[in-house]
Amino acid sequence: GGGGNNSGLVYLIIWLLVDHPAIGIPTVIVIGIGYYFTHTSVKGYVRGQRTQRGLVAIDANREAEAIAALQQRDTEFSVDRFYARVQTAFVKVQDAWCKQNLTPVRPFVSDGVHERFSLQFSEQKEEGYHDQMDDLAINSVQMAQLTSESVFDAATVRIDATSTDRHISLADGHDMPGADAPGPFAEYWTFLRRRGAKTTDKDGLIEGNCPNCGAAIELNAGAQCSSCHALLRSGQYDWVLVEISQESEWRPEYPHALPGVAELQLNDPDFDIADLEDRVSVMFWRKCRADRLGKIDPLRKVATANFCDFYSKLLLPTSGPDGAPHGPRSFWGDCAVGGLETHGVIRGEPMDRALVEVRWSGLMFQASPPKTPVRSTYGNVARHLYVLVRTAGVKTNAGGGISSAHCPNCGAPISDDSSDACRFCGTVLNDGTRGWVLEQILPMTDAKARDLLMKLAMQTPPVPATPATLGAAGMVATPVGVPAKVIPEPVTLLAWAVQSVTSGSSSGLDASEMQMLQAVAQRCNISSEQLRRMLDAAQNGRLATREPMDAQQAEQWLGEMMTAALAGGDVTGEELRLFNSIGTRYRLSAYDVGMLLKRQKNSLYNNAVEALRYRKLQASQT
């Protein structure tokens, strides 16, 4: 109180208190409460506004850094033109998706993306529908991150769009159930280009032209331009789409050295993580296809003979007591990949091993051939370690670029037939002498997976990423306003929450626990279907979540969940109960959780202020 204008009121209150306490005391209480609430909520509102603007500024700062890094190396790079091209690509891909025809987008999508769409199309066709997206509108496009590996620049763009999704019967054109909820959605699209490639003013892959000679693209079997024979998806001439991630599956990455990779690159300078991960993506989708067909053929050329022998046994129909085939066989279908994460390379003789973690989800299907497989409502969310082998000393084919499903010898597409050799040139493809092949798929919780990761960690001390090399790669170690720690994706945090809540209750979840989880899922833009798959997996003890390493990291993760909630407004009662329930698992009292929330609020606010300040500084310099 106090101050000129209020002094009359203050005297009045004092007079009431002294001479008429029966009126004065309640009045003071009422005014006091009123003052407290208006004051704190106005302050809270202002802080909230600033935090929101600050979060936008953090994204804008990250965007500015990525663009500056690209322009430094490629002076012709125009962000407006790039965004326009991304929009063209987005519309073309959505159109191809709805028409179940990849031909128009084939020139600019990687083999991994191609395999994924192809499999999803066969699933849709078997179930008798195609997708239709009405009223598709792109609301914004923004560069989210630029990373540079040894060979490729990877530009990740956030696309905010709106549409109404429908499933249309292929037979009679009527609506079918199962479409996504209508409304806004955000995706992160990652494009690769060879480092050193330069922007030209000519049309390129996305527009359907050869970026080398300008001719309209007619792809031959080897993915070359039929006019000039340039290998089109090498990333040497133009951007290639390698990954599409949902908002909840994405997180920014900070440069960190992976064990074994620098050592491998001494002998194989063209080895690149993005390339490796596209290859794993092809393996994942081929495994899904093998599961669906009940045949090992799709894996023949990308997995070792040992793995194929082992895995083909799992594809047999379950046998009855008389030895006769006895169905139905079950498998995971309608799969989605949440993300790939390379852990590193174990150098060895005679084979090197690359370890890549795959986060995925799916629904159980029942197959009783020759009938179409039938989907159940039973879901799964899991993490597996893909172990790839390659003969030590083999080098990456530098000119081959991102051609994960093409023969390294002749460039022909790797077909689905039962042979382990290229159909065109006869080169045996699955022995590791020509490139990386799949040796094992292990659940992350499997002892063998843990042994391999341990071996990887023991192998060499990780090479610290020095500021000098980061500068050369055009990356900034710590974007302003974002702590330089590894932030788990929202979906990983939710899985952890699901695990925490379900492990605490033996008799299944009650309504209020469900509400708590739904509140967090909604906050992170995770669909109720995805949450359902997680709950199914958790109930069967199969939800292989990442867990914090210790109480300190648990507190950090809990803090991230709080930040996600705070970024969307304020923490609800349900969310707070969830935080407390998770906290209990790590011996955090309600008081500790309350203090953590307060700290999180403050640091979010401070980061936002700092980012805004940085933004202003940048603006004043230009």
Near Zn ion by CB under 5 A, which window of 282-290, 329-337, 411-419, 577-585? Answer: 411-419
Beta bridge partners of 332: 364
Longest dimension (CA), the chain: 105
Long-range contacts of 454-458 (CB under 8 A, 24+ apart): 455/346, 456/259, 456/260, 456/343, 456/344, 456/345, 456/346, 456/355, 457/259
* Member of 132, 142, 148, 212 binding Zn ion (CB under 5 A): 212
207 binds Zn ion (CB under 5 A): no
Q: Interface residues for Zn ion in 230-289 (CB under 5 A)?
A: 230
Cα(279)–Cα(388) distance, rounded to whole angstroms? Answer: 10
Near Zn ion by CB under 5 A, which window of 8-16, 206-214, 440-448, 504-512? Answer: 206-214
Min. distance of Cβ 181 from Zn ion in angstroms?
Answer: 43
Identify which of residues 79 and 230 has a Cβ nearer to Zn ion in the complex: 230
210 binds Zn ion (CB under 5 A): yes
Min. distance of Cβ 198 from Zn ion in angstroms?
Answer: 17
Please report, for residues 92, 174, 337, 561, the alpha-carbon distance to residue 169 in angstroms, rounded to integers and kept in the order given.
22, 5, 26, 40
Residue 102 structure tokens: 């990849």
Min. distance of Cβ 428 from Zn ion in angstroms?
Answer: 10
Near Zn ion by CB under 5 A, which window of 69-77, 321-329, 418-426, 482-490? Answer: 418-426
Nearest Cα neighbor of 361 from 488, 531, 518, 499 is 531
DSSP H stretches of helix in 74-165: 79-99, 111-126
424 binds Zn ion (CB under 5 A): yes
The answer to whether the CB of 442 falls within 8 A of the CB of 385 is yes
Place of tokens 């980012």: 611
Site map for Zn ion, 91-130, x if CB under 5 A? ----------------------------------------
Min. distance of Cβ 234 from Zn ion in angstroms?
Answer: 12
For 272, residues 6+ apart whose C-beta sits below 8 A from its C-beta are 149, 150, 151, 152, 396
Beta bridge partners of 318: none
Near Zn ion by CB under 5 A, which window of 14-22, 214-222, 296-304, 474-482? Answer: 214-222
The answer to whether the CB of 603 falls within 8 A of the CB of 595 is no
Place of tokens 């990849």: 102
For the chain, the distance separating the N- and C-terminal CA atoms, rounded to the nearest angstrom, is: 44
Min. distance of Cβ 228 from Zn ion in angstroms?
Answer: 3
Identify which of residues 210 and 495 has a Cβ nearer to Zn ion in the complex: 210
* Member of 9, 10, 181, 213 binding Zn ion (CB under 5 A): 213
Instruction: Kindly report the length of the chain.
Output: 622
Identify which of residues 261 and 407 has a Cβ nearer to Zn ion in the complex: 407
Cα(383)–Cα(340) distance, rounded to whole angstroms? Answer: 10
Residue 357 structure tokens: 């973690």
* Member of 262, 364, 410, 609 binding Zn ion (CB under 5 A): 410
Count CB neighbours of 232 within 10 A: 28
Identify which of residues 421 and 470 has a Cβ nearer to Zn ion in the complex: 421
Identify which of residues 50 and 423 has a Cβ nearer to Zn ion in the complex: 423
Q: Interface residues for Zn ion in 222-241 (CB under 5 A)?
A: 225, 227-228, 230
Residue 197 structure tokens: 């490639």
Cα(354)–Cα(140) distance, rounded to whole angstroms? Answer: 37
Identify which of residues 219 and 465 has a Cβ nearer to Zn ion in the complex: 219
Min. distance of Cβ 424 from Zn ion in angstroms?
Answer: 5
The answer to whether the CB of 131 falls within 8 A of the CB of 124 is yes
Cα(333)–Cα(459) distance, rounded to whole angstroms? Answer: 37
Identify which of residues 362 and 432 has a Cβ nearer to Zn ion in the complex: 432
* Member of 223, 422, 452, 456 binding Zn ion (CB under 5 A): 422
Identify which of residues 103 and 552 has a Cβ nearer to Zn ion in the complex: 103
Identify which of residues 213 and 316 has a Cβ nearer to Zn ion in the complex: 213
409 binds Zn ion (CB under 5 A): yes
* Member of 10, 33, 170, 425 binding Zn ion (CB under 5 A): 425
Cα(529)–Cα(179) distance, rounded to whole angstroms? Answer: 11
Identify which of residues 48 and 432 has a Cβ nearer to Zn ion in the complex: 432
Q: Interface residues for Zn ion in 379-408 (CB under 5 A)?
A: 407
Under DSSP, the state recorded for 202 is: S
Min. distance of Cβ 496 from Zn ion in angstroms?
Answer: 45
Nearest Cα neighbor of 355 from 276, 251, 275 is 276
Please report, for residues 168, 290, 369, the alpha-carbon distance to residue 330 in angstroms, rounded to integers and kept in the order given.
26, 12, 12
The answer to whether the CB of 327 falls within 8 A of the CB of 243 is no
Q: How many helices (H) and strands (E) does the chain have?
A: 15, 9
Near Zn ion by CB under 5 A, which window of 80-88, 205-213, 520-528, 537-545? Answer: 205-213
Identify which of residues 210 and 456 has a Cβ nearer to Zn ion in the complex: 210
Min. distance of Cβ 229 from Zn ion in angstroms?
Answer: 7
Min. distance of Cβ 297 from Zn ion in angstroms?
Answer: 17
Min. distance of Cβ 96 from Zn ion in angstroms?
Answer: 22
Total of chain residues touching Zn ion, rule CB under 5 A: 15
Identify which of residues 213 and 314 has a Cβ nearer to Zn ion in the complex: 213
Min. distance of Cβ 170 from Zn ion in angstroms?
Answer: 35
Min. distance of Cβ 301 from Zn ion in angstroms?
Answer: 10
Nearest Cα neighbor of 61 from 611, 622, 613 is 611
205 binds Zn ion (CB under 5 A): no
221 binds Zn ion (CB under 5 A): no
Q: Residue 522 half-sphere exposure, CB side, CA atoms within 13 Å?
A: 12
Min. distance of Cβ 396 from Zn ion in angstroms?
Answer: 17
The answer to whether the CB of 238 falls within 8 A of the CB of 85 is no
Identify which of residues 228 and 457 has a Cβ nearer to Zn ion in the complex: 228
609 binds Zn ion (CB under 5 A): no
Min. distance of Cβ 425 from Zn ion in angstroms?
Answer: 3
Min. distance of Cβ 285 from Zn ion in angstroms?
Answer: 21
Cα(1)–Cα(22) distance, rounded to whole angstroms? Answer: 22
Q: Which residues contact Zn ion (rule: CB under 5 A)?
A: 210, 212-213, 215, 225, 227-228, 230, 407, 409-410, 412, 422, 424-425
